[in-house]
Structure 1
Amino acid sequence: MVKVVRRVLGTMVVYGYPRAPFAAELDLAAWIGAEVLEILPLWKVEPDPTLLRDQVADRGLTLHSAHGCWGGQSIRADRVDLGSPEPSVHEASVDDLRRCLDWLAAAGGRTLVVHPGGLSDEADREPRRDALARGLSALADHARGTGLVVAVENMPPGVHPGSRMGDLARLVRELSRVELGLTLDVAHAHLSADAVGETLAAADLLTTTHVHDNDGGKDSHHPPGHGTIDWPSWFSALDAIGYRGPIVLECIRRIREDRSQYRPEVLAPFVRPAPR
Structure 2
Amino acid sequence: MHEAEAWRWAALSNFSAAATTWTFKAKPLFEALDLIHLLGFMDVELWAEGVHLDPRGEPPDLDELAAAMDRIGLAAHSIHAPFRGLDLTSPDPGVRNRAVSVLSRTIEMAGRLDCPYVVVHVDGAGERGAGGAPTQHSGAGGSGAETGGRDAFVDEAEAFERAAAALTVLCKHAQDHHVTILVENQPDPARRRFGASVADLLELIHMVGAPNIGICFDVPHAVVSTGGWEKELRAALPYVRSVHASDTEGGSDAHWPLGRGAIDWRRVLEVLEEAGYDGGFVLEVAGGEAALEESFAALQGASGAGARGDAGARADADAGADARGDAGARADADADARGDAGARADADADADADGDDAPSSSLRSREAK
The reply to whether TM is greater than 0.5 is yes
The equivalent residue for 2:250 is: 216
1:148 aligns with one of 175, 179, 200: 179
The equivalent residue for 1:184 is: 217
**Map 1:109-258 → 2, pairs under 5 A:** 109-117=115-123, 118-121=125-128, 122-123=150-151, 124=154, 125-157=156-188, 158-193=191-226, 194-251=228-285, 253-256=286-289, 258=290
On the 8 A contact 1:204/1:242 being kept in 2, the answer is no
Alignment partners' CA distance in 1, 2:254 and 2:96: 29
CA shift, 1:254, in A, is 1.1
On the 8 A contact 2:87/2:126 being kept in 1, the answer is no
Give the letter for the 1:94 counterpart.
V
Deviations 1:196-233 (A, max 9, x none): 11111112111111111111001111111111111122
Give the letter for the 1:204 counterpart.
P
The equivalent residue for 1:30 is: 37
Give the letter for the 1:26 counterpart.
L
Give the letter for the 1:133 counterpart.
A
The equivalent residue for 1:75 is: none
Alignment partners' CA distance in 2, 1:89 and 1:254: 34
Deviations 1:3-36 (A, max 9, x none): x95321101115996x403343123213443210
CA shift, 1:95, in A, is 0.9
CA shift, 1:149, in A, is 0.3
Match status 1:40 vs 2:47: yes
The SS at the match of 2:258 is: coil
CA shift, 1:56, in A, is 1.2
Deviations 1:23-77 (A, max 9, x none): 4312321344321010013212233222221121111111111011101xxxxxx
Alignment partners' CA distance in 2, 1:260 and 1:236: 21
CA 1:188–1:14 in 2, change beyond 3 Å: closer, same or farther? closer
Identity of aligned residues (%): 26
Alignment partners' CA distance in 2, 1:214 and 1:109: 29
On the 8 A contact 1:15/1:40 being kept in 2, the answer is no
CA shift, 1:248, in A, is 0.8
The SS at the match of 2:103 is: helix
On the 8 A contact 1:65/1:112 being kept in 2, the answer is yes
On the 8 A contact 2:165/2:208 being kept in 1, the answer is no
How many correspondences in the alignment? 262
On the 8 A contact 1:49/1:106 being kept in 2, the answer is yes
Give the letter for the 2:299 counterpart.
L
CA 1:23–1:140 in 2, change beyond 3 Å: closer, same or farther? closer
CA shift, 1:160, in A, is 3.3
CA 1:46–1:26 in 2, change beyond 3 Å: closer, same or farther? closer
- TM-score normalized by the length of structure 1: 0.86
Alignment partners' CA distance in 2, 1:245 and 1:85: 34
The equivalent residue for 1:262 is: 294
On the 8 A contact 1:12/1:40 being kept in 2, the answer is yes
Alignment partners' CA distance in 1, 2:89 and 2:31: 35
Q: Which deviates more from structure 2 when the two are superposed, residues 259-268 or residues 139-148? A: 259-268
Match status 1:49 vs 2:62: yes
Deviations 1:65-93 (A, max 9, x none): 1011101xxxxxxx211222221101110
Runs (4+) of structure 1 exceeding 3 A deviation are: 14-17, 258-261, 269-275
Of structures 1 and 2, the larger Rg is shown by 2
On the 8 A contact 1:65/1:113 being kept in 2, the answer is yes
CA 1:23–1:87 in 2, change beyond 3 Å: closer, same or farther? closer
Gaps of 5+ in 1: 72-78
- TM-score normalized by the length of structure 2: 0.66
The equivalent residue for 2:20 is: 12
Whose relative contact order is higher, 1 or 2, with alpha carbons under 8 Å and at least 6 apart?
2
